[in-house]
Structure 1
Amino acid sequence: MSWIREGELNLLEKIASNVLKAGPMPKHVAFIMDGNRRFARKKNMERQEGHMQGFNKLAETLRWCKQLSIPEVTVYAFSIENFKRTKEEVDGLLDLARQKFERLLEERENLEKHGVCIRVLGDLNMLPLDLQQLIAKAVLTTRTNNKCFLNVCFAYTSRYEITNAVREMAWGVEQGLIKASDVSEALLSECLYSNNSPNPDLLIRTSGEVRLSDFLLWQTSHSCLVFQSVLWPEYTFWNLCEAILQYQLNHKSIQKARELHREEQALQQLEADRACVADLLQHQGNGKPADAKRRQEALHLCTVSREARVQDFLQALKQKRNHFFSDLYGEAVSA
């Protein structure tokens, strides 16, 4: 089954789509695609077939999102916790991933035509080397596409992602790229796997479960969360419309919360910079209080220096991550 489905909405779906588009539309939607195993039991089929049906539904949902002008989608494809399942099921899921990434590479022209960029978020080192190499090929092959984005969370949990971001900042301090005082909530966000994406506007979980299961905990703190009872393989265009409507009904409160959070972050950073300046002037002033002009000049210098250090660090981090994918891709080509 193709990653990109062609086809138009029917007349009723087009009318609903146009009505929804009159209101604020989410630009980034995240899905916890839950219910594949329950769907398989319900239909008396093998678990693997349930997971296959789940992928088919993802391809169909991506088509709906494209037609609703939603440019970015993030999906929870494989949790680190999934490694605890039976060997047979884990092997089946990894085999399915191999098939789908191989198919993706076969469809590169179609992906380029639609401008689809594939990103894979997670610790790929946990995966078999051949699958790592397939993923690296898919990521690098589509990285220049920029019309729509699909983020596949694979070998992922949010707590692991946050822990890894802390490690990255510690690495930056050890390398002398940043100071310990540069560490902030905003910098941690830039160190997450998802640093290239805006936070989701809307998160949808299917199957009736009402928990996040360690998915995008940091990124969805100010997102609209919608829990729907439908099993993922049975998801419909109308289920998606219902979730978008919930987002629209709560849009104002969500935007207000985000704005307040941005203001709070800016205030926290200003206070941190002021503390840095106070410490600096205390050491330079021989105990004499600095005048307002000197404090303002020192604050400006401190801010400019911090921003330069942070940008250098983020560039080094980007290069480190790019080298990881490039090395995998090189190994795959030479194999």
Structure 2
Amino acid sequence: MSWIREGELSFIERLSANILKAGPMPKHVAFIMDGNRRYARKRHVERQEGHTQGFEKLAETLRWCLNLNIREVTVYAFSIENFKRSKEEVDGLMELARQKFKKLLEEQENLEKHGVCIRVLGDLELLPLDLQQLIAQAVVATRTHNKCFLNVCFAYTSRHEITNAVKEMAWGVEQGLIKSSDVSESLLSKCLYSSSSPDPDLLIRTSGEVRLSDFLLWQTSYSCLVFQSVLWPEYSFWNLCEAILQYQLNYQSLQRAQEQHWEEQALQQLEADRSCVAELMRQHGSGTVADTQDRRKLLLSYTLKREERVQGFLSALQNKRDSFFHNLTSQAVLA
């Protein structure tokens, strides 16, 4: 089964898609693809078959998203919590992942045709080495594609991601790349696995569960959350349309909340910069400077230096992450 399934929508699907596209459309949709095991029980087949059908549904859903001009999709493929399942099921999921990433590497021409960039988000060091290498090859091979993006959260939980982001900032402070005063909500966002992507506009969970299960907790603070009762392998184009309609109905309130948050975040950063400037002036015995223009110059200078430090740190962090993938790819070539 191909990662990107070819084919056009039916006439009635195209008509419905065009009607939907007249309203605000989500640019980034996240899926918690829940219900594979229940589907297997319902159909009286092995769990592994349920997971296989779930992957096939992902390929079909990606086709729908492309036809709806949704250019970024993030999926919850394997939680760190899933390692607690039976060894047989975990081994089966690892083998399924091997098969699908090998298939992806065979489909590079098709992925290049659609401009699909594959990103894998999570703690890959928790995975078997051969699977890490396959994933790294897929990520590196599609890195320059920029028409649409598929983010696969594998060996992932949001709390683990946030904890890792805090560790990355601590590393930056230890290396002298940033100061502890540079740490902020905005910087933490840029240290997440998902830092290359905008936050999802719409998050969809199937199977009737109404919780996030530790998925994109930080990134979905201002997203539209839609919980649908259908099992993931039975998901349809019409289920996706229903979720997009829910997004459109709530679009204005979501936008207002997001814009208010951005304004508050900017004010918080400004206040933090002012506090740092005031402390520096006090330390240098110039806390009595009365000229407002001088204070503004000092604040602007400090802000520019902070932004320069932060950009240097983020570049170093990206280089570290790129090296991880390139080293795995080199190991795979030598193996």
TM score, norm. by length of structure 2: 0.99
Tell me the equivalent position of 1:178: 178
**Is the aligned partner of 1:106 residue 2:127?**
no
* Residues 255-266 of structure 1 mapped to structure 2, 5 A cutoff: 255-266=255-266
Contact 2:278-2:287 at 8 Å conserved across structures: no
Instruction: Assess, with a 3 A threshold, how the Cα gap between structure 1 residues 83 and 298 changes in structure 2: closer, same or farther.
Output: same
Instruction: Work out the CA distance in 2 between the residues paired with 1:102 and 1:193.
Output: 23
What SS is found at the alignment partner of 1:70? coil
Corresponding position of 1:231: 231
CA RMSD of aligned residues (A): 0.7
* Counterpart in the other structure of 2:196: 196
CA–CA separation in structure 2 for the residues paired with 1:255 and 1:193? 24
Give the match's secondary structure for 1:22: coil
Q: Structure 1 regions of 5+ residues with no counterpart?
A: none
Which residue of structure 1 lines up, in the alignment, with residue 295 of structure 2? 295
Query: CA contact under 8 A between 1:281 and 1:290: conserved in structure 2?
Result: no
Aligned residue pair count: 335
The Cα of 1:227 is off from its aligned counterpart by: 0.1
Which amino acid is 1:135 matched to?
I
| Deviations 1:106-160 (CA, angstroms, capped at 9, x unpaired) | 0001000010000000000000000000000000000000000000000000000
- Check conservation: 1:48, 1:92, Cα contact below 8 A: yes
CA drift at 1:296: 0.7
**Partner of 1:45 in structure 2?**
45
Hey, what's the Cα distance between the residues in 2 that align with 1:286 and 1:220?
A: 44
Deviation track 1:268-309 (CA, whole Å, cap 9, x = no partner) reads 000000001111111223553442122111101110000000
Distance in 1 (alpha carbons) for counterparts of 2:119 and 2:296: 42
Distance 1:304 1:112 in 2: 39
3-state DSSP of counterpart to 1:170: helix
- For 1:287 and 1:81, locate their aligned partners in 2 and report how far apart those are by CA, in whole Å: 53
* Correspondence list, 1:37-186, <5 A: 37-186=37-186
Identity of aligned residues (%): 76
The code of the aligned residue for 1:325 comes to F
Task: Give the Cα–Cα distance (whole angstroms) in 1 for the partners of residues 234 and 287 of structure 2.
Answer: 71
Q: Which amino acid aligns with 1:94?
A: M
SS at match of 2:309: helix
- SS of alignment partner, residue 328 of structure 1: helix
| 2:234 maps to amino acid | E
Amino acid at match of 2:152: V
Mapped to 2, the partners of 1:313 and 1:198 lie a distance apart of 20
Correspondence for 2:17:
17
Deviations 1:33-69 (A, max 9, x none): 0000000000000000000000000000000000000
String of CA shifts for 1:191-241, please: whole Å, max 9, x gaps.
000000000000000000000000000000000000000000000000000
What is the CA deviation profile of residues 88-112 of structure 1, one whole-angstrom value per residue up to 9, with x for unaligned ones?
0000000000000000000001000
Task: State the partner residue of 1:4.
Answer: 4
Whichever residue aligns with residue 59 of structure 1, its letter is A
Deviates more, 1:273-282 or 1:202-211: 273-282
Distance 2:286 2:44 in 1: 80
Q: What residue identity is the alignment partner of 2:222?
A: H
- How far apart are residue 176 of structure 1 and its match? 0.2
For 2:290 and 2:212, the matched residues in 1 are separated by: 50
Taking the aligned partners of 2:211 and 2:253, their CA distance within structure 1 comes to 21
Structure 1 residues 262-281: aligned runs within 5 Å: 262-281=262-281
- Between 1:85-94 and 1:280-289, the stretch displaced more is 280-289
Is 1:240 matched up with 2:243? Answer: no
Mapped to 2, the partners of 1:331 and 1:285 lie a distance apart of: 56
- List gaps (5 residues or longer) in structure 2: none
Going from structure 1 to structure 2, the CA distance change for 1:287 and 1:38 (only over 3 Å counts) comes to closer
In 1, Cα distance between equivalents of 2:157 and 2:287: 50
Contact 2:205 2:227 in 1 (8 A): yes
Q: State whether structure 2 residue 36 is matched by structure 1 residue 36.
A: yes
The whole-number CA distance in structure 1 between the counterparts of 2:3 and 2:82 is: 23
Structure 1, 261-270 or 286-295: larger mean CA deviation: 286-295
**Residues in 2 aligned to 1:159 and 1:22: alpha-carbon distance in whole angstroms:** 37
Deviations 1:223-267 (A, max 9, x none): 000000000000000000000000000000000011000000000
